[in-house]
Amino acid sequence: MPLRPRITTSIDRTGGTVAKALGAFGAATVHEANARTGAMHGIRPVTPGLSAPSEYGMFGDLPATSARALGLAGVGLAAGVRDVRSLREMEFPVWARAAAVRGTGKASPGWLNVPISCGGAVVNPGDVVVADDGGVGVVERADTVGVLANAKARTENEEAVRPRFAAGEQGVGLGGLRPMTAGLERDAR
């Protein structure tokens, strides 16, 4: 039997303060702080020249206008997007798998606030999605406070070692990897 469309109206959400704080760290730092989990594959920012392996654009400037009015910070989808130029002009952040000119039909209500899989990552209602030019990642709602603490610690550590890298010190020495390389055969060229 086919699944019937469903709209869930009552969900526990991550607090806006925590979500915005995670977003400020960026997708790569949050991914690392989240035990390297939650990365979405193949989902990227809508940019000029994006290829079109999907035949249909499921999101465009009209839904973006509505999403912005409802307070959404951006949209990510494992499908095509249309109206790319308008979306860029609106400065509404969208991440998608492709760009396509063909629109979709609006013949069924679909699902809202249900668990999904996007780019290989599971996203549950209330989770935090962090996206930037580097990619997209998801943090489970229950893990957001811990991941935020990890992201802060990671950023502080990176800022502490940045001057050492700038002075020419190599990562193999800073990361404690030198003892692991001590016994390796050397190629003298």
Give the pLDDT of residue 159.
94
Q: Greater confidence, 153 or 44?
A: 153
Decide: helix, strand or coil at residue 144: helix
d(CA 131, CA 6): 27
Residue 62's alpha-carbon distances to 67, 81, 92, in angstroms, are 9, 12, 11
pLDDT score of 52 more than 70: no
CATH architecture for segment(s) 16-181: 3-Layer(bba) Sandwich (3.50)
pLDDT score of 48 more than 70: no
Greatest Cα-to-Cα distance within the chain, rounded to the nearest angstrom: 67
Amino acid identity, position 47: T
Residue 130's alpha-carbon distances to 29, 85, 170, 179, in angstroms, are 10, 23, 30, 36
Inter-residue contact 139 to 38 (CB < 8 Å): yes
Inter-residue contact 30 to 36 (CB < 8 Å): no
Contacts of residue 81, defined as CB under 8 A and 6 or more positions apart, other chains included, come to 46, 57, 58, 59, 60, 87, 94, 96, 98, 99, 100
Cα of 141 vs its chain's centroid, Å? 15
Kindly report whether the global pTM for this prediction surpasses the value 0.85.
Answer: no
Residue with token string 């406070």: 145
- How large is the average pLDDT for residues 169-176? 74
